[in-house]
Amino acid sequence: MDVTPEKLDQYHSTYRRNSPFDDLLRNYTFRALRPFLPGPESTILEIGCSNGLMTELLAKEVRKVVAVEGSLKFIDEVRSRKLANVELVHSVFEELQSEEMFDAAFATFILTHVPDPKAFFSKLSNVLKPGGLAMIAVPNARSVSRQLAQELGFVENLLDLTDNDLAHGHCVTFDRASLSRLIRSNGYEELAQGGIMLKPFADFQMDEIIAGGTLKDTHFEGLFRLGQRYPELAAVIYSVCCQKT
């Protein structure tokens, strides 16, 4: 899998713009992880900042955010937000050159792009302070929407990469078991885990439903709570972890 900055710039163009459901899901992901942030005086490393929605939310909660991003196009989008306490670094995470140590690392929707998890976690260990937390979130291969796609014949195996996954530069899928196994096998232990948002349909269909006004904020609050109750079926799964001592 090619993860050079040039290739990442190409993947940038595959992501849908103006997706209300994608924005909603990222806001709920931040909401689920926010209680684990170290505090207002902490310095956070964000690994893969995309268009900066999460970056802006993080910047309101901590003293400083260092966001490392392989796509210069995404960096330009974040820069346009004019966030005073955010430092942007154009680099693939595994090649990051920094002597700074961080209180926590925020890695949402990034592990699916990582071809060498061992190198990823090794780098993570080098940049986190002792006791520092890694907050990880990934799409769930066993979500309701993906299982519906399987029932309809669009997906044969839930853990297979779909054409959409490949277009976005994904090289792996995760369910709860495989994510936890990867974390443990790389010298980390999970302090908390959970699911975010029960999503019955594909993202583009959720966008259409939102545009039609069928689902209101109260419905999404309910879907968020159901994702907490049934994490194995949620759209996103997360782990909060630290190095084993």
Condensed to tens digits (0 to 9), the pLDDT of residues 144-178 reads: 999 999 999 999 999 988 887 888 788 899 999 99
**Contacts (Cβ under 8 Å, ≥6 apart) of 182:** 111, 117, 174
Amino acid sitting at position 171: C
Domain ranges of the chain: 5-243
Instruction: Work out whether strand 86-90 and strand 102-108 pair parallel, antiparallel, or are unpaired.
Output: unpaired
How much is the average pLDDT of 193-203?
A: 96
CA 211 and chain centroid, separation: 24
- Residue 1 in this model has a pLDDT that exceeds 50: no
Instruction: Supply 239's token pair.
Output: 């782990």
State pLDDT tens for residues 104-132: 999 999 999 999 999 999 999 999 999 99
Query: What integer pLDDT is reported at residue 17 of this predicted model?
Result: 59
Neighbours of 208 (CB within 10 A): 14
Query: What integer pLDDT is reported at residue 9 of this predicted model?
Result: 47
Are the C-beta atoms of 143 and 199 separated by less than 8 Å? Answer: yes
The number of residues in the chain equals: 245
Cα 13 from Cα 29, distance rounded (Å):
23
For residue 45, list its beta bridge partners: 66, 105
How much is the average pLDDT of 230-240?
A: 98
Cα 50 from Cα 169, distance rounded (Å):
13
Instruction: Supply 243's token pair.
Output: 């190095």
Percent of the residues in the chain that have a pLDDT greater than 70, as a whole number: 93
Fold of the domain built from segment(s) 5-243: Rossmann fold (3.40.50)
Could you give the 3-state DSSP secondary structure of residue 116?
coil
Instruction: Supply 221's token pair.
Output: 């609050």
Query: What integer pLDDT is reported at residue 3 of this predicted model?
Result: 54
Confidence of residue 12 (pLDDT cuts 50, 70, 90): very low
Inter-CA distances, 109 with 43, 95, 139, 154, 172, Å: 20, 19, 7, 22, 12
State pLDDT tens for residues 58-96: 999 999 999 999 989 999 999 999 999 999 999 999 999
Would you give the DSSP letter of residue 174? B
Cα 101 from Cα 55, distance rounded (Å):
18
- For Cα atoms 45, 102, 224, give the angle at the middle one, nearest 5 degrees: 50
